[in-house]
Chains A and B, each alone.
Chain A
Amino acid sequence: MAEFRVCPDSGFYFHKSAESLMKVNAVVGVVALLIAGLLAIGVVLTRWQEVHWLPADTFYMVLTAHGINALLFWCIFFEMAILHFASSTLLRCRLATPRWGWAGFFLMLIGAVMNNVAVFSGKSSVMMTSYVPMQAEPHFYLGLILFAVGALIQVFVFFGTLVIAQQEKTYEGSVPLVTFGAITAAIIAVFTIASGAIILIPTYLWAVGYVSHIDAEMYRVIWWAMGHSSQQINVAAHVAVWYLIAGVLFGARPMSEKVSRFAFLLYIFFLQLASAHHILVDPGISAEWKIFNTSYAMYLAVLASMIHGLTVPGSIEVAQRGKGFTKGLFEWLRKAPWGNPVFSAMFISLVTFGFIGGITGVVMGTEQINLIIHNTIYVPAHFHATVVTGTTLTFMALTYLLIPVLFRKKMIFPWMAKLQPYVFGGGMTILILFMLGAGTLGVARRHWDMDFAGAAMAFEYPAIAYTLMAVGAIGGLLAIVGGIMYLTVTVGSLLFGKPLEPSAGILESFAGKPLQASAYDIEKPEKLMMAPKLEESEHSGGGFEAPGTFALAMLLLVTFVVYYFINWKYLASVWPLG
């Protein structure tokens, strides 16, 4: 029975069941993003002290829901679509056990809805971290558990598909780099979900009354093995998507398969240690343990990100130079398709993730420096640079690619799509930079009132902190406008976009239904062959193939070094303690 179709524009093969699962996961992910984005309006307009919109109880409820929908539901649903794409589509293989895939998806959906119901009832405003002994309603935890189990099932469907691809020899040689990156994400996901189960199941039992006590410190250590690792799934996934986009748009070839894969391997080995840097100022944890773990074993995972930071733009530069853009250091970059939202979103993501997200993450994750940063608004500033301008913007870039390829729709409002990455990325960058500043002045995160109204003793932040928060909020509103533009283009295209051949209707696009049966006319895709070897003349002779990228990398390093030592200097000015 013919179950495959080939996309005439991209040449990607889609297996019927995999395609449906990709669609539903992506669509539900985008719905979660929509919810998170709407809630962001409340967060931004409340933390902008001059506006101070929501009352305290609503603010904390909104903040809880914003965090969970954005960090967990949006990212992980979308990553499930990426996993099925990286296995079934890239390897031209049928999806393993589609029914299990659907079961996993529905479990995730039920879990996500259940958790949102708990939060919006107003009795589970415990923030995403739900630190014990503060207690949420039982179905808050149960929702997360079901969501995690569903995700685990889909991850195993992904592994199963890899096994089938290998056994049925649908490809030659080793799996492509993008699939390798997806495998990295999937392995980290298994670790993440296992940690989540270890802590959330007893916490659920505690909430329903079967367990009398959960140690608050133990909860923090294990919860973060899930909480931070889930963000490492994002990193591995979005780096894989960077490589994919570089390949699709530029025909870029990884500078070195060995180096890029080795860097992904470092993620698998060391990224999980990240939970440590959330407990650097907690009681009773030894300095040796903190130093080893917070540095991801001597920063080997940071090294991996620095490697990707060179090899992704480097591969683009090499491809561009091959096309004749060889003038000076940066002609290749100037002449890049800045009007194509797939490229601009991906490149803005690369730069902000490296320069802001990466650098601030390492600085605040340094054992002693954490003292001057922990729980200030610096922390959300950092993770907006990793998860929003990093992961979310990359996934937005991928959506622009997928609307025609996966959903078979022509994009509506191309001008809006063209502007969107700049509005979203620019607004978010303003938000991040000004929140970093406010955090340095000690402004607390997860805090309703900078004026401390009703406190028995007064405290006032310096006036500049208010200004920083206000400018940051304006950036946040700009980013929300960018988010609305994204949703207008994507949802609008699925609803009203012109169907492409083989065509898709509204239901096929939205409800995850496959296209008309006639679209699936391929019984067995052609075997995926190894990439063609480079011609001898195309080798650059071992010199610096991508000098512009190297210059950018050195700029990153200098920024990194300067900023890192500025923070040590700042630390040296506070009360001595030991």
Chain B
Amino acid sequence: MTSFMPPADRIWWKVPVGKQELVWIAIALVWCIIMFLMMPLWHVYGKQNLSTEAYQTTPAKFGAKVEEMVSKYTVGKEAGIPIVAPPVGSDIYMLGRLWQWYPVLKLKKNQEYRLHLSSMDWQHGFSLQPDNINLQIVPGYDMVLKITPDKSGEYSVICNEYCGIGHHTMVGKIYVED
């Protein structure tokens, strides 16, 4: 009845709060603080943190870097796309465009690489399956992540940002070898 009537007390902000609400607010606040602290703590103790390293770029500039890597380290072809095995620890590149991830990468297990990602046209979603790591790929930005594949096998990169009619055909590969 009184949620749609003016408060019973003119000075409602001076009415003492019940014990039950105070206890709940205290518990909830503590939980909120724990959740807040988990994020910086994970930066210190966790292993999955997104780097904030990024550069503005253009499709032409980024594409040239990709081609440079492809021309140096191509070891084969899959479905017409080069398979590239870059040196351990190096800067490696993958670009998204309508509708493919280019090139295919062949990496060594438990080795760190600097992965550069960008888009040649629209926005794309880098979604590494089945590990389920998901990143937003934005044209004009070169996003750099240090990755350490810790399981060997065949990984697929699907696109999970809508990018037009051929969106569902955009599948790439990353191989991780022992």
Contacts and interface: CB of A to CB of B under 8 A. Distances in A.
Nearest to A456: B79
B178 interface: no
Given A56-B168, A259-B17, A457-B171, A287 B33 contact: no
B21 A256 contact: yes
A247 B15 contact: no
Contact of A574 (B1, B9, B122, B132): B132
Interface in A26-70: 56-57, 60
Given A174-B6, A530-B7, A134 B25 contact: no
Contacts of B50: 280-281, 287, 367-368, 371, 577-578
Contact of A531 (B8, B32, B80): B8
Contacts of B90: none
A371 B156 CA distance: 16
A248 B51 contact: no
A339 B88 CA distance: 66
Given A303-B29, A577-B50, A454 B24 contact: no
A462 interface: yes
B174 to A, nearest CB: 10
A287 B49 contact: yes
A286 B170 CA distance: 29
Contacts of B49: 287, 368, 577-578
A462 B131 CA distance: 12
Contacts of B123: 131, 133-134, 216
A65 B169 CA distance: 23
Interface in A251-281: 251-259, 261, 279-281
A174 B9 CA distance: 9
A173 interface: yes
A463 interface: no
Given A283-B141, A303-B29, A452 B5 contact: no
B10 A368 contact: no
A458 B27 CA distance: 49
A56 B162 CA distance: 12
Contacts of A531: 1-2, 5-8
If over half of B's interface residues share one DSSP class (helix, strand or loop), that class is named, otherwise mixed; here it is: mixed
Most chain B CB inside 10 Å of its own CB: which residue of A255, A283, A295: A283
Contacts of A550: 20, 23-24
A524 interface: no
Given A256-B17, A578-B47, A529 B5 contact: yes
A376 B131 CA distance: 13
B46 A577 contact: no
A62 to B, nearest CB: 13
A284 B140 CA distance: 11
Contacts of A461: 129
Contacts of A458: 171
Contacts of B159: 444
Nearest to B36: A298
Interface stretch (A138-146, A307-315, A329-337, A403-411): A307-315
Interface in A314-373: 314-315, 362, 366-368, 370-373
Contacts of A217: 138, 140-141
Contact of A176 (B6, B32, B54, B167): B6
Interface residues of B, number: 95
A531 B47 CA distance: 56
B138 A171 contact: no
B133 A372 contact: yes
A532 interface: yes
A262 to B, nearest CB: 9
A75 interface: no
B134 A216 contact: no
Interface in B73-104: 78-81, 100, 104
Contacts of B52: 284-287
Nearest to B118: A283
A511 interface: no
B5 A530 contact: yes
B106 interface: no
Interface in A508-547: 528-534, 540, 542-546
If over half of A's interface residues share one DSSP class (helix, strand or loop), that class is named, otherwise mixed; here it is: loop
Contacts of A258: 12-13, 15, 17
Given A442-B127, A531-B1, A575 B149 contact: yes
Nearest to A533: B8
Given A216-B140, A257-B7, A577-B147, A374 B134 contact: yes
B6 A175 contact: yes
A215 B171 contact: no
Contacts of B100: 456
A444 B38 contact: no
Contacts of A311: 21
Given A286-B52, A577-B49, A57 B165 contact: yes
B104 to A, nearest CB: 8
A531 B35 CA distance: 39
A326 to B, nearest CB: 16
B135 interface: yes
B172 to A, nearest CB: 7
Contact of A575 (B19, B25, B28, B150): B150
26 contacts: A90-B4, A131-B122, A171-B6, A244-B4, A253-B8, A256-B18, A257-B13, A258-B12, A258-B15, A284-B52, A368-B48, A368-B49, A371-B48, A375-B136, A449-B168, A452-B169, A455-B170, A457-B156, A533-B8, A542-B18, A542-B19, A568-B46, A574-B48, A575-B128, A575-B131, A577-B147
Interface of B: 1-10, 12-13, 15, 17-21, 23-25, 27-29, 31-33, 35-36, 38-40, 42-43, 46-55, 78-81, 100, 104, 117, 121-123, 125, 127-136, 138-143, 145-151, 156, 158-173
Given A173-B12, A216-B138, A534-B8, 20 more contacts: A173-B7, A178-B3, A217-B140, A255-B18, A255-B21, A256-B15, A261-B12, A281-B135, A284-B141, A291-B39, A295-B32, A311-B21, A315-B3, A366-B39, A375-B161, A444-B158, A454-B168, A457-B171, A462-B130, A575-B149
Shortest 10 CB-CB contacts between residues of A and residues of B = A284-B54, A247-B3, A531-B2, A283-B143, A444-B160, A299-B32, A173-B6, A576-B47, A459-B156, A283-B54
